[in-house]
Chains A and B, each alone.
Chain A
Amino acid sequence: MNTKIAIVGAGPGGLSAAARAAELGVSHVLLEAAPHLANTIFLYQKGKHVMAEPNLLPLRSPLAFTAGSREQVLQAWENGAQQLGVTHRLGAEVKAIAGERGNFSLTLTSGEIVNAECVVLAIGLQGNLRKMGVPGENLPFIQYQLDDPDEFAGETIVVVGAGDAAIENALALAAQNSVTIINRRDEFSRAKEGNLNGILRAIKDETLQCLYNSSPTQVVVTPTDGEGDGKPCELYLSTAEGEARIPCDRIIARLGATPARQFVESCGIRFPNDSPNAVPAVSAQYESNVPGLYIIGALAGYPLIKQAMNQGHEVVEFILGNPVEPADEPLLREKFKPILEGRSVDQMLDLIKTTIPLFESLTTLQLREFMLDSDILKPAPGAVIFRRNDYSDTFFSVLDGEVNIQANPDAPEQTISLHAGQFFGEMTLISGRRRNSTVLAGPDCVLIVTPRRSMLKLINSVEAVQRLIDEVFLIRAIRAQMAPDISDEDLAEVARTALIERHETGQALFHEGDVGDSLYMIRRGSVTVSRDIGGRDVVLSYLAAGNYVGEMSLLSNIPRSATVRATVATETIRLDGEPFKALMKRHPTVFMALQKTARERAASGAKAQQSEREGGDVISFLVKQGLGEATDVLLIDETLCVHCDNCEKACAETHKGTSRLDRKAGPSFASVHVPTSCRHCEHPHCMKDCPPDAIHRAPNGEVFIADNCIGCGNCERNCPYGVIRMAYVENKRRSGMLSWLLFGLGTAPGQDLSATAHHDPGAAKKAIKCDMCKDLSGGPACVRACPTGAAIRVSPEEFMVLTR
């Protein structure tokens, strides 16, 4: 059988492509690994409300898609595929793709080979579930996924795996079944704290069994004459004590997924770098570096259903050589309207590419996507673009005219001008901290304003963009921190030998006593400075991004006087000692600036050493809690807290009835308690993987979730501090305080409504978290409602100083 188009993966992207091919009567085959269409959507929680973001983007597909329940969406696709006569094969996992345009051969896991002229790869990012890899792994008693643990009762179930999914399943199943969990190692080392405690307790209480150091060797259907205890299947294991046999009703193996990337690379497709977020580059026609092999959907870096469906439609047109106006053309035209001046969208894109060197190496598709996310700004001359100490995190490229930067707050009249082709805002992007200068629009200024996520995506997918930004960052950082009036040429040697280094949490940049004279500028993350005092590492101070360390040894040539350690994943720029010393010889002002810093630090260090150790211990504790990457954290003084829970009530009252803060949870040290509440991280982990880009940072630094959240739960998983919850949010009507006070009617002010809420079944679960009451004048309600002054919100710099 030879077809024109083979489509791999029946997600929204692949389905839409197949549907278009069927509509046009083009020979095609849609290969899907799962036993049903659209596996990713199939695996959403039952009844999940699927959203049709981005709202503005028109849908272009023969299949229907509107926001609705998971079931409705799947049904609509099922019907559509049938009506259009889509040729699909379920349970057909592709394990290899070889060949070239006109002659591809796709090998299925069954060994069968499918030939096609072109291939559309639409396998998404979910990857393939790992199987047990033993004989019998495909028997019907084995499942690699569990939707609803309550479905089973009274069974003997074996759970294979030691990760969070396996543990959560085992614990949930143990309520109604007899459960054994099989762990290949001798401990559960990969699990989250809560799950770890849960499983260990369950094992101790014997609510379930655990076999350590055991791995499955085969699964067999119980022979009719055997002693299977009436169970349909038997699992054989090799354990430390020899072979074991467990008769059971069901095996649930949760062994994680192999990322799609491995398979994709094996097809000859190149990724720009090793970053886990990297996506393969594709042409404007979605063609990869392998001619005839096309990539669409989440795999190509478009994380939403509608985007995937549009691309499915378009890719078929491209393969057939039909001209298509991309679905986003009208959106771009609208966006460019103020500057179009009779040009076409394509001409405008070309102009952008030629004007701004940063975008030179982008493919047209990347630039379109980038511009779709960005905005065009034409500020009046003198208008403020951002102010020093703002927390905005957008990135700006100058398309025309100029902007003026006030780098020195004490001398606002001194400005540096940037012109067409240059960019700014990279400092905040990299450091995650406040703006360090004020920027004003100059004459004829036209700017491209890009949200943080789109910029990060670009940096991750285009090597050249990353390099250019790093180079500019370096020069600007040296200038900003120690050498304001020095020319580029004069800095060239220092810059040439500079090195970006990455340090893991807890890793030392250098140790006390080390010999070395390089200077480290912290460009991201933060560090602690500590000394060995009486055999103990005592933390003396904390330095955030935008500072430098190592100046003492540079100035004096003596060994390092303290140990400097990264509190979180940290990036530094290492400046070699020799070229820097040469620079200081030429420019005594640089020397003086460094010397001043060194003197101040020596003085405050001595003071810190004299003060009791406790301060240092508290800092170590707070750093261990991950506060080194916080911008604003809620701390409770236990010597003042009267456990009135007014803070939680205030949070619930001001946030639709659900408190986003858990006062009792969280660790304490000395008298400082760190309740479970968002710390508004410098580089919020929660933002990492949000399909509709719903998580933002407000100008005052608050990290908040906007209404276009689709409830996917990624942020809940990604936040290492467990502060995001998925909940039904509705505007609950509260009764007035007076009627409650006088007659006890209705809900008490501050009462948490989440437990009592009756939500209507169509409502969508969304992510909720602390937004630091950004819409309330007067600041965070929790702090303002605390009667004793026990609750405060502070930045790390503040508490590092104040614990002394």
Chain B
Amino acid sequence: MHQSFLIYRRARYLKLSLGLMILSLAAYIADARLEQPNGGTWLGYTLGTIGALLIFWLLWFGVRKRKYRSGSGMVSGWLSGHVYLGIALLLVATLHCAFQFGWNLHTLAYTLMVLVILSGFYGVFAYIYFPSRLMDNGGGLSDEAMLTEIAELDGECLAVADKIGDKAHQTMLRSIESTVIGGGLWQQLTATSPRRVQMEAAESKLIDLRNELEEEHTRVMRTLTSLRVQAQIQQQAQQPANPEGSDRTTLFMVDQLAATGSGDKVLAVRQLLDLLSRKKALTARLQRAVQYQALLRFWLIVHVPLSIALLAALLAHIVAVFIYW
């Protein structure tokens, strides 16, 4: 039921654009038989004028897009026209100058135009490619929802770390405090924020801690087992004589275990690692979301300023031609 801008009204602008391109090409070929093609011929002037008008109209899109009250059609229709006629412009302008390039102002304008168009091509690719990626990545969660969930996980991490001890708490705190999602443009585009590094650091510290604790735990367990064996031997030796004796040993073992508390700590660290890996997955998702959005948008920082530069160069070109021709 939705209609992409590429097929707006049965791709009427694609057809218009193809028509314009065929017409220009036919005229150019026909004209080339009669005279040496050049921007200064009758056809050259015509194509140049069409090209310049197209450029003004393409630039006007930036204004129309912000005229929210405007009754002049749908912005998606405008974009459809923008894209297809922008492509036609490439041919029209090339035919206008009849492939005469040089180190001059005219070619500067041409080059700027090509760059704008190329960035536009990327834009269309991005508009087609990234929305679905973003949707799949988000899985129904908005950026805000992911952020709150990360914040909640942070809170839980701290609470669990508290149970383990100061060292774990400090590690977690540092990891949380250095939280940066996104960062500068470059970091957004490449999804490499310092946060990831920090999290990995925290994770490796935790793994160390877990290993340490697990070692300690094994040590305690080993002691416990040997104690239990001893108790059994004792029990067998003084068989019917003293049944409470073995009870006393068991009590001792339990006390030991409780005193070290190492089992609890191991559990807590495991839990922490669990939380951390969930958080890592979520952060990676959020980062990817930020990355996709940056990839969707950054090209406009090229497209728009270059198109302004193009406007200046074009005006200069036209003035230059009228003065020096």
- Residues of chain B with a CB closer than 8 A to A794's CB: 1
A642 vs B299: C-alpha distance in the bound complex, in angstroms? 13
| Complex contact A668–B71 (CB within 8 A) | no
Asked, given contacts A201-B152, A749-B66, whether A788 binds B5 with beta carbons under 8 Å apart, the answer is yes
| Complex contact A639–B131 (CB within 8 A) | yes
| Complex contact A786–B134 (CB within 8 A) | no
A664 vs B145: C-alpha distance in the bound complex, in angstroms? 10
Asked, given contacts A637-B2, A640-B2, whether A653 binds B71 with beta carbons under 8 Å apart, the answer is no
A487 vs B140: C-alpha distance in the bound complex, in angstroms? 56
- Residues of chain B with a CB closer than 8 A to A637's CB: 2
| Complex contact A777–B71 (CB within 8 A) | yes
- Residues of chain B with a CB closer than 8 A to A650's CB: 68
Asked, given contacts A643-B296, A653-B69, whether A737 binds B1 with beta carbons under 8 Å apart, the answer is no
The residue of chain A having its C-beta at the shortest distance from the C-beta of B134 within the complex is A643
Interface flag for A649 (CB, 8 Å): yes
A201 vs B154: C-alpha distance in the bound complex, in angstroms? 13
A643 vs B4: C-alpha distance in the bound complex, in angstroms? 15
| Complex contact A668–B140 (CB within 8 A) | yes
| Complex contact B66–A737 (CB within 8 A) | yes
| Complex contact B3–A799 (CB within 8 A) | no
Q: Which of B4, B73, B152, B293 contacts A788 (CB 8 A)?
A: B4
| Complex contact A783–B74 (CB within 8 A) | yes
The residue of chain A having its C-beta at the shortest distance from the C-beta of B1 within the complex is A802
A667 vs B74: C-alpha distance in the bound complex, in angstroms? 26
A667 vs B71: C-alpha distance in the bound complex, in angstroms? 31
Asked, given contacts A664-B144, A776-B69, A781-B69, whether A787 binds B131 with beta carbons under 8 Å apart, the answer is no
CB neighbors of B among A758-804 (8 A): 776-778, 781, 783-790, 792, 794, 798-799, 802-803
| Complex contact B134–A790 (CB within 8 A) | no
- Residues of chain A with a CB closer than 8 A to B155's CB: 205
Interface flag for B67 (CB, 8 Å): yes
A799 vs B1: C-alpha distance in the bound complex, in angstroms? 7
| Complex contact B131–A640 (CB within 8 A) | yes
| Complex contact B68–A649 (CB within 8 A) | yes
- Residues of chain B with a CB closer than 8 A to A640's CB: 2, 4, 131
CB neighbors of B among A580-594 (8 A): none
- Write the nearest CB–CB distance from B5 to chain A, whole angstroms: 5
Asked, given contacts A640-B131, A642-B296, A789-B5, whether A750 binds B66 with beta carbons under 8 Å apart, the answer is yes
Q: Which of B2, B65, B69, B73 contacts A789 (CB 8 A)?
A: B2
CB neighbors of B among A526-580 (8 A): none
CB neighbors of A among B142-166 (8 A): 142-144, 152, 155
Interface flag for B84 (CB, 8 Å): no
CB neighbors of B among A664-723 (8 A): 664-665, 667-669, 671
- Write the nearest CB–CB distance from B71 to chain A, whole angstroms: 4
Chain A 654-672 per-residue mask, 1 if CB under 8 angstroms from chain B, else 0: 1000000000110111010
Q: Which of A643, A654, A787, A788 contacts B68 (CB 8 A)?
A: A654
Interface flag for A349 (CB, 8 Å): no
Interface flag for A641 (CB, 8 Å): yes
| Complex contact B1–A792 (CB within 8 A) | yes
A487 vs B142: C-alpha distance in the bound complex, in angstroms? 59
Interface flag for B309 (CB, 8 Å): no
On chain B, which size bracket covers the interface? 35 or more
Chain B 111-130 per-residue mask, 1 if CB under 8 angstroms from chain A, else 0: 00000000000000011001
Chain B 54-96 per-residue mask, 1 if CB under 8 angstroms from chain A, else 0: 0000000001011111110111101100000000000000000
- Write the nearest CB–CB distance from A193 to chain B, whole angstroms: 13
Interface flag for A638 (CB, 8 Å): yes
| Complex contact B68–A750 (CB within 8 A) | yes
Interface flag for B132 (CB, 8 Å): yes
| Complex contact A789–B131 (CB within 8 A) | no
| Complex contact A785–B68 (CB within 8 A) | yes
The residue of chain A having its C-beta at the shortest distance from the C-beta of B133 within the complex is A639
A649 vs B155: C-alpha distance in the bound complex, in angstroms? 35
| Complex contact A778–B4 (CB within 8 A) | no
Interface flag for B26 (CB, 8 Å): no
A681 vs B109: C-alpha distance in the bound complex, in angstroms? 54
A778 vs B72: C-alpha distance in the bound complex, in angstroms? 8
Interface flag for A285 (CB, 8 Å): no
Q: Which of B5, B75, B143, B144 contacts A784 (CB 8 A)?
A: B75
| Complex contact B76–A788 (CB within 8 A) | yes
Chain A 436-448 per-residue mask, 1 if CB under 8 angstroms from chain B, else 0: 0000000000000
- Write the nearest CB–CB distance from B142 to chain A, whole angstroms: 5
- Write the nearest CB–CB distance from A212 to chain B, whole angstroms: 21
The number of residues on chain A lying at the interface, defined by a beta carbon within 8 Å of a beta carbon of chain B, is 45
Interface core residue of B8, B63, B69, B71 (most chain A CB under 10 Å): B69
A603 vs B240: C-alpha distance in the bound complex, in angstroms? 88
- Residues of chain A with a CB closer than 8 A to B134's CB: 638, 643
- Residues of chain B with a CB closer than 8 A to A635's CB: 1-2
A115 vs B107: C-alpha distance in the bound complex, in angstroms? 102
Interface flag for B321 (CB, 8 Å): no
- Residues of chain A with a CB closer than 8 A to B8's CB: 789
Interface flag for B135 (CB, 8 Å): yes
- Residues of chain A with a CB closer than 8 A to B132's CB: 638-639, 671
- Write the nearest CB–CB distance from A804 to chain B, whole angstroms: 10
A749 vs B69: C-alpha distance in the bound complex, in angstroms? 11
A741 vs B67: C-alpha distance in the bound complex, in angstroms? 12
Q: Which of B70, B127, B135 contacts A638 (CB 8 A)?
A: B135
A794 vs B142: C-alpha distance in the bound complex, in angstroms? 24
Interface flag for A646 (CB, 8 Å): yes
| Complex contact A788–B69 (CB within 8 A) | no
| Complex contact B131–A641 (CB within 8 A) | yes
A522 vs B59: C-alpha distance in the bound complex, in angstroms? 53
Chain A 720-752 per-residue mask, 1 if CB under 8 angstroms from chain B, else 0: 000000000000000001000100000001100
A776 vs B68: C-alpha distance in the bound complex, in angstroms? 10
- Residues of chain B with a CB closer than 8 A to A737's CB: 63, 66-67
A470 vs B74: C-alpha distance in the bound complex, in angstroms? 44
The residue of chain B having its C-beta at the shortest distance from the C-beta of A207 within the complex is B155
| Complex contact B142–A788 (CB within 8 A) | no
| Complex contact A790–B2 (CB within 8 A) | yes
- Write the nearest CB–CB distance from B284 to chain A, whole angstroms: 19
| Complex contact B76–A667 (CB within 8 A) | no
| Complex contact B130–A642 (CB within 8 A) | yes
The residue of chain B having its C-beta at the shortest distance from the C-beta of A197 within the complex is B148
Asked, given contacts A643-B293, A737-B67, whether A638 binds B131 with beta carbons under 8 Å apart, the answer is yes
- Residues of chain A with a CB closer than 8 A to B143's CB: 664
CB neighbors of A among B1-59 (8 A): 1-5, 8
Interface core residue of A650, A784, A802 (most chain B CB under 10 Å): A784
- Write the nearest CB–CB distance from A210 to chain B, whole angstroms: 17
| Complex contact A784–B74 (CB within 8 A) | yes
- Write the nearest CB–CB distance from B286 to chain A, whole angstroms: 14
- Residues of chain B with a CB closer than 8 A to A784's CB: 73-75
- Write the nearest CB–CB distance from A258 to chain B, whole angstroms: 38
| Complex contact A781–B68 (CB within 8 A) | yes
- Write the nearest CB–CB distance from B191 to chain A, whole angstroms: 16
Provide 8 A-B residue pairs closer than 8 Å at the C-beta atoms, listed in order of the A residue: A635-B2, A737-B63, A784-B74, A785-B68, A787-B5, A787-B76, A790-B2, A798-B1
User: Other CB < 8 Å A-B pairs besides A653-B69, A799-B1, 7 of them?
Assistant: A639-B132, A737-B66, A749-B66, A750-B68, A776-B69, A787-B5, A787-B76
Give A residues with C-beta under 8 Å from B: 201, 204-205, 635, 637-644, 646, 649-650, 653-654, 664-665, 667-669, 671, 737, 741, 749-750, 776-778, 781, 783-790, 792, 794, 798-799, 802-803
3 nearest CB pairs, A to B: A802-B1, A637-B2, A778-B71
